[in-house]
Amino acid sequence: MSRVLLTDRIAADAVRVLESFGGIEAVSIGTPSPAELLDMIGEYDAIVVRSPTHVTGDVIDRGTKLRFIGRAGVGVDNIDVAAATRRGIVVINSPRSNTISTAEHTLAVMLAVAREIPRAHATVTSGKWDRDSFKGVELNQKVLGIIGLGRVGSEVAARARAFGMTVLATDPFVAPSDAGAGIRMVSLHELLPQADWITVHAPLVPETRGLIGVREIAAMKKGVFVINCARGGIVDETALADALDSGHVAAAGLDVFDAEPPGTNRLLTHPRSVFTPHLGAATTDAQRRVATDVAESIGLALARGEIRDAVNTPR
């Protein structure tokens, strides 16, 4: 019998999918503390996590039976993939299932920023009827710069085009001929001064940490809007807070932060900006899909030795 630990309250369907393979017992819990996880990991052949549980090198060392680590989502920055690879553990994610939810959330945040929806809503619910303070902007005929034209970036591009935006994108892994209709591939250096809106859709890896810092923000148009629904750490929060204070950046829309939760952070005091607690993939549709997809991948791997959606290739 193989045992699989599911943390972070992964959708219940995942247990059913795993156990349907036969010979698998799945145990679903909330988010364990690091010490609790170290205590229990030795009993499991596989673990499946969302973003709150960190599968560190220590957890991997203690997981003496561990053969598979599943990520119910895309980003694997909460998993020490190098340590897993060294131990011969396969890391499997769910790369397609939450693309649309994250793209839709990006557009929702852009529109909320453009029209100051949270502040306007707060005035109405507090009994005011203020039609003068909220002079929003249109997306129509504005230039959107997309940093990272992967699955989510491409879906954001399609939706932005439906709103009448001109789309520029930069991505070292996408050739201009593969960019898709109506998307012009440019370098980051060309994108920054042209875009009215800039949205990040890159993974957090050493090459993208701090990718948007003081120099890049200075190269942006004055009055630009900056959106990050990808990963905290890609946009330098201190540089962004300074640019919001000076007015160089008109407003930001952030779903992700360097530290989550962000606690007291100067960024959060900026009135025109919009902040959400890492909700990009948090729709019932996407959560059901990521959970069942990754459960099926782990089930196939444990029960039949079939590997799909692996992000590493241990020997």
Rule CB under 6 A: say whether 74 interacts with ligand MLT: yes
Task: Round to whole Å and give the CA distance between 26 and 294.
Answer: 13
Rule CB under 6 A: say whether 73 interacts with ligand MLT: yes
**Position closest to ligand MLT via CB:** 73
Judge contact between 290 and 98, C-beta under 8 A.
yes
Distances (CA, A) of 234 to 126, 208, 287: 36, 6, 24
Distances (CA, A) of 73 to 93, 207, 265: 6, 21, 27
Mask of contacts with ligand MLT, 84-123, x by CB under 6 A?
A: --------------x-------------------------
Least distance to ligand MLT, CB of residue 202, Å: 12
Q: Which two tokens stand for residue 85?
A: 């690879």
Report the 10 Å Cβ neighbour count for 138.
Answer: 11
Judge contact between 51 and 75, C-beta under 8 A.
yes
306 flagged as catalytic: no
The catalytically annotated residue of 71, 105, 159, 278 is: 278
Nearer to ligand MLT, 226 or 281 (CB): 281
Least distance to ligand MLT, CB of residue 259, Å: 14
Task: Round to whole Å and give the CA distance between 138 and 198.
Answer: 15
Q: Which residues in 256-285 contact ligand MLT (CB under 6 A)? A: 280-281
Nearer to ligand MLT, 51 or 170 (CB): 51
104 flagged as catalytic: no
* DSSP code, position 235: B
Rule CB under 6 A: say whether 7 interacts with ligand MLT: no
278 flagged as catalytic: yes
Residues that bind ligand MLT (CB under 6 A): 50-51, 73-75, 98, 280-281
